Structure 1
Amino acid sequence: MSTESTIRDSIDDAAATVGSVWPIHSFVTANPLSGFEDQPFAEAVAQATDILGGRGYPSPETFREALSRDQIDRAVLADELSEAGYEADPETLLDRMDTAVDDATEEPDTGEDRVDHVLTKWLSAFLDEGRAHWPLPDRDLGFYGVFRQMAAYDGQIPDSGVVADLPATPTEAIETVLEPHPEHQWDAIFEEQLAALPGWTGFVKQRAADGGEWQERYRITLTGYLAVRLALLDAVDADLTPSPGTDEHEVDELSEAFLCAWEATYREELVESVSAESEALADSEPSGRPDAQLVFCIDTRSEVLRRHLEATGDYETHGYAGFFGIPMEYEGYDSEVSVEACPPIADAQHHVRDEPTDAETKEEYDHLTGIRKGAAEIVESIETNAATAYGFVESAGSGYGLALAARTLVPGRVHDFFDGVDERVPHEHEFCRPSLDGLSLEEQVGYAETAFDLMGWDRFARLVVFTGHAGETANNPFDSSLDCGACAGNPGGPSARVLAEICNQDAVQAELRERGFEIPDDTVFLAGQHNTTTDEVDLYDGAVPESHAEELETLRADLETAREATAQERIDSTDAVRETERKAADWAETRPEWGLAGNAGFVVGPSELAAGLDLDGRAFLHSYDWSTDPDGDALEAIMTAPMVVTQWINCQYYFSTVDTAVYGSGSKITHNPVGNVGVYQGNGGDLMTGLPLQSLLAADDEPYHQPLRLSTVVHAPVDTVTDILADHENVAQLLDNGWLSLTVVDPTRDHAAFHYAGELSWQPADGAATVEPTAEATPAVADD
């Protein structure tokens, strides 16, 4: 193997400790410690502290607050502390943790700081995705190439060291800088330097791995990035000797005990609720055909709306991953680019675009959106040109001032205005249909069959609604974090439309009937989109015939009733719906909605099971009926995809909460968007990687999100789950290492609950002896 290949492979290995970061316009939630998931949680957070500098556990004050609110059962906590070897009372131990906090400060203005400042300037200029009015020239040379050509013109870079005469390739530059260091140190140097700016490193890592339009045009690699960093460090004569790691602190052992007790308290209540509903479900009589079936994303925000909708009438709601199983790139009618509308765990296999079907409505849309685009371009030119801005404001006078005042003082009225404007502009679904040209009939049938199989469907209502979701917010760089995570931070309505279009095809329905799905002739599939900020549901009813008009109007009315109840549960206000609209339009609103904050559980079971539960908007819900899945294939698909993705989401919220500065994004108040790819804190520095504190905390010292690892509860035979884990070593490893927990409520064993105890064994919830795996569940090599 060549030296170049060896160095490149070593850099890739070193970068494994830095999580991937996606551009903020398509915010993808991910575990920032994903590179450590092959280790036990406690060891992983300790290593991450050494490498990345982040705290891995909630603060003593957070635990103290949870205790005071009875979120941690004291008896459970006493057991956890005793097992860890601590006998003192919790308050004494928390005080001890307070005194153990390391308050050491770093030396200001080091050579590394100066390098970070220069390097982030170059990165932001090179990686800009169309926002800069004066883009960096010659980006087609690649990051290392353009730096090599233009570094001499940057007065902040000393003309010394290797940077004074950069070699032709990044590998040669790395070898030159590291020549004084023994090769056995190189891997540690790579790891430490890549972790110095984990936000930018994670973004480079993701972009280089996934490719895409920007990467194809302006190439950057981890090797090229690291070569530039090492050259700059050489120019300031920085010491590259790797820093020694630190030993695990007692505070981490105590924190692990407090955290486990907190999680167990939540989990026991959740499991008890599911077990009780499982028993009740077994004794209930089968219900008749529902008024309508609605499929929502498994998103925690859907749980509240689903619960209130089911209370308004005979509705059956289901949970399914919000990209509705269609791994696609989606190109809207009026969009300049396509977006990947599927989670990173899946590869986009189809390109679906909106095609106009109504020329008259299309013409009206083009006219009105053309006016709106022209106005937007004027506003953008004002924002980016000081002289133009002064002239415009002076000539516009009081009218412009009134517009600003309205935005600030009466955002609810502004919402009404823009809502009225939007009502005039036809929606794309009114004159377009998603093209299915790129999907064969077999593929279309497969996507519909998979959806019905995973949800355990054996009946169909007259109206079946696939409901995607998206947020609504003003002046918010993190707006895509409120959209559908399963659609890679994009709205889920297009995915819902594609599946509805597929299911309405006569040929698809005929084939599905051959496969055992008895779809009645009067069943109509349609799509919709749930606005998670205002909880309004927009139904795309173009395919609904007049024969179903009465049911459709009833559904609309009941959705509005459910919206009012949902908003009231979320917001304590005399007019909760109006308050949600104000939040959506207020450009000063730091918390337009809470997103997935509060998430702590994932429940996999029949829709009837979830219908009896009030999960307080804290649980992901995936529909699944074990009785229609004799081989466990549907459950296997859920445990190896949605369960893994929800663990990513949960970990991002967890780590963003426990250390907002390192793993989150700090405060929105001091954010600066950069290059349409992310945000800085202040006027430069590392690219922030996670969620802002306003998405996690009710106040600076009051967490809204409870930082708990995910508790998964599956309603299925325990032997089926054991077999799945035996076949998927990567999933079993996440559980064995404590990144999430798993409990099975087994309807074939008197609805008993079993907690996963590691190595394919189970601990009955009643404390009986551990259940060892059966012979059929011998661990196998992972096949995925």
Structure 2
Amino acid sequence: MSTRAGAPAAHTTLRSTVALAARILPVHHPLHSFIAVNPLHGLETLPFADAVARSGEWYGARGIPSDEVFRTAYRAGRITDADVTAALVHRYPDLASVPPVRIDHTWVAVSDLLRLELLTAAPAGRPRRGHHTRSEHGAPAVARTVDTYTTRWCAAFLSDGAAWPMPGATGRFYAAWRDLAFRDTTLPRAVRAALRGLPERAEDALAAALERLGVASHERLAYLRADLTRMPGWAAHVRWHGEHEGRIDLVEYLAMRLTYESLLLSSTDAPSSTDATPAPQVPQPPPAPRQRVAALAAQLGARATDEQLAVAAAAVANYPAPPAGLLWLEAYEHHYRDRLLRRLSGAGSPPSPHRPAAQVVCCIDVRAEGLRRHLEAQGDYETYGFAGFFAMSISFGDLDGAVQPALCPALVSPAHHVVERPAITAAARRHRRGRRSMAAASDAFHAAKDAPVSPFAMAEFAGWAAGPLAAARTALPATTARLRRRMLRVIAPSAPTLLDVNETVPLEQRLLYAQALLGTVGLSGRLARVVVLCAHGSTTENNPYQAALDCGACGGHRGGPNARTAAAVVNDPEVRDGLAARGLVIPSDSWFVAAEHDTTTDRVTVLDPHTVPGSHRDAVAAVSRDLARAGDALAVERGAALPELAHRGSRSGRRVLRQVRTRADDWAQVYPEWGLAGNAAFIAGPRSMTRGLDLQRRVFLHSYDADADTDGTALETILTAPLIVAQWINAQYFASTVEPEIFGAGTKTVHNAVGGAGVLSGHEGDLRLGLPWQSVAHGERLVHEPMRLLAVIQAPLDRVEMIIQRNPALHRLTTHQWITLVAREHPGRPWQRHTPHGWQPWTRTNPLDQETR
């Protein structure tokens, strides 16, 4: 939040307090550019365990799955005794060397006693929100009324493109609300009279409201934070606007809320002064070691002597009973991680020495793992992983004039604006004419529908057609979609285009982009005749969360424009000459082709085929055919896990393929695809680490060649950008699974979109954060396993350590246990875990123990 010029010192202080209070909030992007965020991002300065406790204190939210989820996983064998022991040893490294103790006639390992203690502990209760506003504490009806007004005003002001816009919606929120609020006849007369006299500045209104509420200066931070966390969805979205120079910020938002609260409280008999801080809770003292051992002996059905109890108590006293939930979580994570690392330890097929038929660079997105695996099975192909914006930080304008403002990660800003230009003028003219006709018809229909009187006539005139059409779209989604596409091709046939990259991006910048792309993934050596840069996007109908299925590295948009821009840059002779002067030679017969993978249908489309030279058309056609086969195989594989398909038993692959692809056109489909559900690990290394392994579309795969990155520049880029974005994605899926009603979006079945801001559950309430339940679960069955991200790096340990130490954000994530980072220098070397105390060997359990349950 920027401080306005000339603001008095009191305004500056108040704005600083609001900014500090808002650190606990996530940032909620608009639906058109919805990207993953960690809802506890503001708490990443704390260790993960402390952040979990803080989320319970402020939000009343679970930060980790409930004990019952973990116990169910244990009974099912998803967590084994070996996993629990490994988690205990990681927490208490010397535990493995402690000699066993005798209880009755049996020798028992101390780790077994601690594991039994975990299994028999009473389940933890649900956290309760500990900080409340005055109205929450003394007048809940007033608190609910304030929430209702918040939703009404924020929805009206932030619903861009509404047919009947809110008066003053083009200016600042506070000014528009101040001009209208006192006209609301549902408010008490005294409140309306007070609203007439509101000050002109939001800061003054907020300060006055805090004074009326009796909030002392030292209470302000806690009180403002309590209010912000009551409706975190709207507050997080307003925070985004404030950070992007929008028409509303958190000071204005809080001025509105606290003004309502203070005035409504003053017009009721509710208490006017209660503390927003939680009542102090006296912690229960932990049981004495002897009591702990006696209880465990009873669980074992053993009769321990006093001497045995004393010896065992002395051993157990060194290991306080850890927080059960965190220990369960680590055991849950260990089960997956240990198996993955064992598989990676055994992998290592080097690339073929001869020139491959083609090379395909995909996004690191977990969904690309399956496409790469199936393509490599088709023939002599090499695949690579790179963030899906392909190092092109751009905004994009298409042939129709539509602009996508930021096709790049949220960590960076677009540096250049790339625009489509007609390759054939006549074709472009016909395409634009058709598009304008369709847009004019659509605008006329919506204008008539939204006008005060004409909807009644519209219902009489168009209802006979709209009803059957809606029924057809519901019953025959694939057929109606095919007819719509045919009609579109007739009215506005596609026109070949070129990108004005050379005119808009200076040569030096193009050279840097090309160098970053080729050098980071290890393509600076031998190149195939055809190199495909394969972006991705998703096709769904009637889905407010469309952007969540698109490319996060492209700002929640399809990545096709980035792939096209990158191909145009690297194919440019001037760029190739400049790269050669820097020692990076691209063979004259190597051609880069852009493509896009639709992750709902698993169709891969080659983009700009008209730019492919005649000498390469047959080779590009062959790659395209094999990409199509790989996509078909992947769609059938995914179909085995999709709802409505998984339970129908064995069917022909062709039928499964057709039903998977129908989901993209079905406007009633709440499970079009699983997106990034299941994501659990990030791997940066050569393809030889993972080639031939089925990683079940759960791993972000980023190509990295440590030998070609002697100064560590490429690795630092990977660990401070793609890894961070992957952690955001992982954290959002984690939180939406663990706490769907607070950090997720609840069920899709009651969603109502609010302009481009977000969705509500029903017609009022808070703006929903995170992902819908249907993105992480089917019914009560979890599809996403909530685990923190595992980062696996193949690089010199001292290089990794240097990068961690000089990048504070990465250092916090690793040392505060938001992610676990393991590395090895070469294949065959043991994996080392990064800890605050240096590198330590990965604790591996006996593989036989993993299989016994």
Task: Please give the TM-score of this superposition, normalised by the length of structure 1.
Answer: 0.91
Residue 494 of structure 1, CA deviation: 0.5
Name 1:323's counterpart in structure 2. Answer: 389
Q: Distance in 2 between matches of 1:91 and 1:585?
A: 51
The one-letter code matched in structure 1 to 2:667 is: W
Residue aligning to 1:781:
none
Superposed displacement of residue 746, structure 1 = 2.0
Give the alignment partner of residue 288 of structure 1, picking from 354, 368, 372.
Answer: 354
Among 520, 534, 545, the residue aligned to 1:467? 534
Decide whether the 8 Å contact of 2:537 with 2:558 is kept in 1.
yes
Larger Rg: 2
Matched, 1:762 2:836: no
User: Structure 1, residues 11-45: CA drift from partner, whole Å, max 9, x if none?
Assistant: 10110000111001111110011000000111101
Question: Tell me, what secondary structure is at the counterpart of 2:323?
Answer: helix
Q: After superposing the two structures, state which structure 1 stretch, 308-317 or 250-259, moved more.
A: 250-259
- Residues 67-106 of structure 1: pairs in structure 2 closer than 5 A: 67-80=74-87, 98=123, 100-101=125-126
Does residue 308 of structure 2 align to residue 229 of structure 1? Answer: no
| 1:283-362 to 2 correspondences below 5 Å | 284=350, 286-362=352-428
Contact 2:427 2:495 in 1 (8 A): no
Would you say 1:549 and 2:581 are equivalent positions? no
Does residue 798 of structure 2 align to residue 719 of structure 1? yes
Instruction: Identify the range of structure 1 (69-78 vs 308-317) with the bigger mean alpha-carbon deviation.
Output: 69-78
Q: Which moved more, 1:45-54 or 1:68-77?
A: 68-77
Question: What residue in structure 1 maps to residue 818 of structure 2?
Answer: 739
Q: Distance in 2 between matches of 1:470 and 1:693?
A: 21
Per mean C-alpha deviation after superposition, the further-off stretch among 489-498 and 134-143 is 134-143
Instruction: State the partner residue of 1:571.
Output: 639
* Number of the residue aligned with 1:703: 782
Does the CA-based 8 Å contact 2:399-2:421 persist in structure 1? yes
What is the correspondence of 1:433-444 to structure 2 with a 5 Å cutoff? 433-444=499-510
Q: Which amino acid aligns with 1:134?
A: W
Give the drift of 1:165: 2.0
Is residue 2:572 matched to residue 1:505? Answer: yes
Q: In 2, are the aligned partners of 1:598 and 1:618 still within 8 Å (CA)?
A: yes
User: Structure 1 residues 650 and 231 mapped into 2: Cα distance closer, same or farther (>3 Å)?
Assistant: same
TM-fit CA distance, 1:89 = 9.0
2:85 and 2:451 map into 1 onto residues whose CA distance is 63
Q: Is the 8 A contact 1:647 1:710 kept in 2?
A: yes
Moved more, 29-38 or 410-419: 410-419
Measure how far apart 1:74 and its partner are: 2.2
Q: Deviations 1:692-734 (Å, cap 9, x if unpaired)?
A: 00011021x1110001100110111212111111221321111
Query: TM-score normalized by structure 2?
Result: 0.84
Amino acid at match of 2:638: R
Tell me the CA shift for residue 166 of structure 1: 1.0
Q: Which runs of 5+ in 2 are unaligned?
A: 1-7, 93-109, 131-135, 266-271, 287-320, 641-650, 846-853
Q: Which amino acid aligns with 2:142?
A: G
> C-alpha separation between the residues in 1 aligned to 2:758 and 2:603?
29
1:26 is aligned to 2:57: no
Q: What CA distance in whole angstroms lies between the structure 1 residues aligned with 2:690 and 2:279?
A: 47
Question: Is this contact kept in 1: 2:56–2:127, CA < 8 A?
Answer: no
Asked if 1 retains the 8 angstrom alpha-carbon contact of 2:38 and 2:732, the reply is yes
Kindly indicate whether the alpha-carbon contact (under 8 Å) linking 1:189 and 1:240 is maintained by their aligned counterparts in 2: no
- Residue in structure 1 matched with residue 239 of structure 2 by the alignment: 205
> Secondary structure in 2 aligned to 1:437?
helix
Please list every run of at least 4 consecutive aligned residues from structure 1 whose deviation after the TM superposition is greater than 6 angstroms: 84-92, 102-108, 245-252, 425-429
User: Which is worse superposed, 581-590 or 368-377?
Assistant: 368-377
Task: Say whether the 8 Å CA contact 1:118–1:156 is kept in structure 2.
Answer: no
- In 2, Cα distance between the equivalents of 1:45 and 1:199? 19
Residues 41-52 of structure 1 correspond to what in structure 2 (within 5 A)?
41-52=48-59
Query: Mapping of 1:216-255 within 5 angstroms?
Result: 219-237=247-265, 239=273, 241-244=275-278, 253-255=323-325
1:100 deviates by 3.2
Q: 1:68 to 1:312 in 2, by over 3 A?
A: farther
Distance in 2, Cα, partners of 1:285 & 1:321: 22
- Determine the C-alpha separation between the residues in 2 that align with 1:433 and 1:141: 36
Other-structure match for 1:777: none
Contact 2:431 2:495 (C-alpha < 8 Å) held by counterparts: no
**How many residues matched?**
755
SS in 1 for 2:690: helix
* Shift in alpha-carbon separation, 1:763–1:402, aligned structure 2, 3 A: same
Tell whether the 8 Å contact from 2:67 to 2:124 is kept in structure 1 after alignment: no
- Tell me, in whole angstroms, the C-alpha distance in 2 between the residues paired with 1:69 and 1:502: 52
Deviation string for 1:327-361 (max 9, x for gaps)?
12222221444421111111222122222232111
CA distance in 1, matches of 2:765, 2:75: 38
Q: For residues 94 and 591 of structure 1, do their structure 2 counterparts lie closer, same or farther at Cα, with a shift above 3 Å needed? A: farther
Equivalents in 2 of 1:671, 1:95: separation in Å?
Answer: 40
Corresponding residue of 1:776 = none
2:220 equivalent to 1:186: yes
Query: Which range moved further: 232-241 or 491-500?
Result: 232-241
1:298 and 1:320 in contact (8 A); partners too: yes
What do the CA deviations read for 1:66-105 (whole angstroms, capped 9, x no partner)? Answer: 3344332321214536868996797995785557347999
Alignment of 1:617-766 (within 5 A): 617-699=697-779, 701-747=780-826, 750-765=828-843
1:33 aligned partner, one-letter code: L
Higher mean C-alpha displacement, 547-556 vs 414-423? 414-423
Q: Indicate conservation of the 8 Å contact 2:231/2:766, yes or no.
A: yes
Task: Give 3-state SS (helix, strand or coil) of 1:166's partner.
Answer: coil
Which digits, 9 at most, give the CA deviation of each residue in 1:249-305, with x for residues without a partner?
A: 99992111111011111111111222222xx34xx4752111111111100001101
Give 5+ residue unaligned stretches, structure 1. Answer: 768-784
Q: Find the aligned partners of 2:223 and 2:710 in 1 and give their Cα distance.
A: 52
The C-alpha deviation readout for 1:509-554, integer Å capped at 9, x for no partner, is 0111122222111111121111000000110122211111211221
The amino acid of 1:544's aligned partner reads V
Q: 1:113 aligns with which of 100, 121, 144?
A: 144
* Partners of 1:616 and 1:745 in 2: CA distance: 23
357-366 vs 636-645, greater mean Cα deviation: 357-366
**Cα distance change, pair 252–44 in 1 and its aligned pair in 2 (3 A):** farther
SS at structure 1 position matched to 2:510 = helix
Aligned partner letter, 1:401: G
Distance 1:423 1:365 in 2: 9
Task: Provide the rounded CA distance (Å) in 2 between the counterparts of 1:516 and 1:608.
Answer: 25
**Which secondary structure state, in structure 2, belongs to the residue aligned with residue 38 of structure 1?**
coil
- CA displacement, residues 152-202 of structure 1 (integer Å, 9 cap, x when unaligned): 111234454653521221222222222333211111111111222111111
Q: Does 1:445 align with 2:511?
A: yes
**Cα drift, residue 582 of structure 1:** 1.1
Instruction: Evaluate the alpha carbon distance shift between residue 89 and residue 110 of structure 1 in structure 2; reply closer, same or farther with a 3 A threshold.
Output: farther
SS of alignment partner, residue 752 of structure 1: coil
| Whole-angstrom CA distance in 1 between matches of 2:111 and 2:738 | 23
Tell me: CA distance 1:724–1:111, structure 2 relative to 1, closer, same or farther (3 Å).
same
User: Offset at 1:655?
Assistant: 0.2
C-alpha distance in 2 between matches for 1:646 and 1:104? 29
Question: Aligned letter for 1:542?
Answer: H
Aligned to 1:376: 442
In percent, how many aligned pairs have the same letter?
34
The change in CA–CA distance for 1:559 and 1:141 in structure 2 (over 3 A counts) is closer
Structure 1 position 401, deviation (Å): 3.2
Distance in 1 (CA, whole Å) between partners of 2:251 and 2:322 is 35
Partner SS for 1:542: helix
SS in 2 for 1:156: coil
- C-alpha distance in 2 between matches for 1:147 and 1:300: 45
Q: Return 714-723 or 421-430, whichever deviates more.
A: 421-430
Give the letter for the 1:305 counterpart.
Answer: L
- Indicate the larger mover: 365-374 or 154-163: 154-163
Structure 2 CA distance, aligned partners of 1:726 and 1:151? 52
Equivalent pair of 1:434/1:497 in contact (CA under 8 Å): no
SS of the residue aligned with 1:241? coil
Corresponding position of 2:644:
none
Secondary structure of 2:821's counterpart equals strand
Once residues 590 and 451 of structure 2 are traced to their aligned partners in structure 1, the CA distance between those partners, rounded to angstroms, is 56
Q: Which moved more, 1:248-257 or 1:46-55?
A: 248-257
Aligned partner of residue 242 in structure 1, secondary structure: coil
Cα distance change on mapping 1:268 and 1:384 into 2, 3 Å: farther
